[in-house]
Every structure is written in structure tokens, then in C-alpha cells.
């Protein structure tokens, strides 16, 4: 399969790229800061990398490069995300725009740009958060992050209907506590029950198989909150 992964330079995204490449799939890995040396040498033949900022206005160079690498796309994992942690009254409009541009608008734009290249029975997987899952525990300082992930979840449900006629399935995983730099930023000193590698194993399985069982679903993947 040919799979595009955003936020692939570190953490869960990087580990997911490694898992998929190790299974023999072709992966196009996107991140603002990413290098071939980030990945094991024996897997680099299966990985195409592109340093790209998803807040850029023009996605044309990105889509053209992907077309040059892949004749079709079987999977898209919208994993890229940012977090700003501060009390609600201290958030600025700049904070709001940045969080929603990366966490909501970038997946929206990427899906628009890449869905014409997607094969039948392809799978779009949006990586949401248990913090954006309705009814979950919420935490002070994470209001905008949670709101953005909640918006991504609703977008997922809507796109499953929009793309149904093209036989493209769309799902979201609402991830719980996983040991990453982002978690450390949100909850300093907290030790998560899952490593980025372990969560990546599940994500790589789900992008390959989940669309045979689910469409338009927001699935919590969480041992703890946080």
C-alpha cells in the first residue's frame, strides 16, 4: 500500500512510518523537520520524506511531489498536531488560529488535495485525542487543543458521508496518554502507560485494516486520561 503520514518527524508519527515501512508498505512522510537519517537505513527504500509546513498557503508543490512518488494513495494518516497549554483567559487569537490551522484546517486541506488520488477502498485516518472525545475528562489549560481535536472528530464523521460514493472510508482514533514530547508538555513529569512505539503499532494496524470494519467512527484508544 501507498500511505501518506503527517507529523512524521518524531513521536507517534515517526514510529508509525517505521512500522509501515517495515511491513513493506511505501510511505510518504511529512513533517516540518525531517531527515532520511531519522529512519533505519534498511527501511529508507520504502520511505519518501518531505520537509513541509502544513500551515503554508500553497499545497501545490506538496501534491505534485506525492504524485511523482505514488500513482495512487491507499491511506492518509493525519497525525500532525500542535499543543499550546495555558489558562483559557490567556489564550490569544494568534494561539487560536495556529492551533486550528494545524489541527483542523491542515487535515481538511490535505484531504481535499489528495482524495482525487485515492484508490477505491482507501482509508483516511485522523488522529484525534481523548481530550476531544465527548464525555471524556477535560483538563485546565487544554481547552483550545481539546476543542480543535473535537472539531477534527466531527469533520471525520461528516467526511465519511461526503466521500462514501468514492468508496473512501474515514475514521478517527482519539488517543489517550502516550509517552511523547507533547504529553510531557501538557503533563510535566507524568509517565504514560503506552510508548509511542506501542501506539504506532496499533495505528499502523488500523490504517491497514480498520476501514474493513468501521467508517465515520471516532474510536477512543486509551488506557488512562491522561
Concerning whether 35 is annotated as a catalytic residue, the answer is no
Euclidean distance between CA atoms 217 and 37, whole angstroms: 35
- Which H helix or E strand runs over 75? strand 73-78
* Grid coordinates belonging to 205: 494496524
- Beta bridge partners, 178, equal 194
How many CA atoms, within 13 angstroms, populate the side-chain half-sphere of residue 16?
Answer: 32
Where is 27: in which H helix or E strand? strand 26-31
Residues 35, 98, 145, 205: which is the catalytic one? 145
Cα–Cα distance, 140 to 163 (Å, whole number): 36
> Is the dihedral angle over the CA atoms 36, 40, 45, 49 positive or is it negative?
negative
Instruction: Write out the catalytic residue numbers.
Output: 145
Amino acid at each position: 500500500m501507498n500511505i501518506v503520514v503527517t507529523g512524521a518527524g518524531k513521536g507517534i508519527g515517526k514510529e508509525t512510518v517505521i512500522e509501515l515501512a517495515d511491513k513493506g508498505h511505501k510511505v510518504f512522510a511529512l513533517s516540518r523537520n525531517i531527515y532520511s537519517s531519522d529512519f533505519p537505513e534498511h527501511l529508507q527504500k520504502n520511505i519518501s520524506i518531505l520537509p513541509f509546513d502544513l500551515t503554508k498557503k500553497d499545497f501545490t508543490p506538496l501534491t505534485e511531489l506525492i504524485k511523482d512518488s505514488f500513482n495512487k494513495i491507499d491511506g492518509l494518516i493525519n497525525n500532525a498536531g500542535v499543543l499550546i497549554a495555558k489558562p483559557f483567559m490567556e489564550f490569544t487569537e494568534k494561539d487560536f488560529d495556529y492551533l486550528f490551522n494545524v489541527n483542523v484546517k491542515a487535515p481538511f486541506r490535505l484531504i481535499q488535495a489528495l482524495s482525487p488520488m485515492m484508490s477505491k477502498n482507501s482509508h483516511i485516518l485522523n488522529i484525534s485525542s481523548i481530550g476531544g472525545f465527548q464525555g471524556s475528562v477535560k483538563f485546565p489549560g487544554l481547552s483550545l487543543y481539546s476543542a480543535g481535536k473535537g472539531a477534527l472528530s466531527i469533520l471525520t464523521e461528516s467526511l465519511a458521508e461526503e466521500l462514501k460514493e468514492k468508496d473512501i472510508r474515514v475514521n478517527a482514533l482519539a488517543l489517550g496518554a502516550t509517552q511523547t514530547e507533547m504529553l510531557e508538555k501538557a503533563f510535566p513529569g507524568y509517565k504514560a502507560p503506552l510508548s509511542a512505539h506501542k501506539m504506532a503499532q496499533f495505528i499502523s494496524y488500523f490504517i491497514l485494516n480498520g476501514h474493513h470494519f468501521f467508517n465515520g467512527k471516532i474510536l477512543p484508544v486509551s488506557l488512562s486520561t491522561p
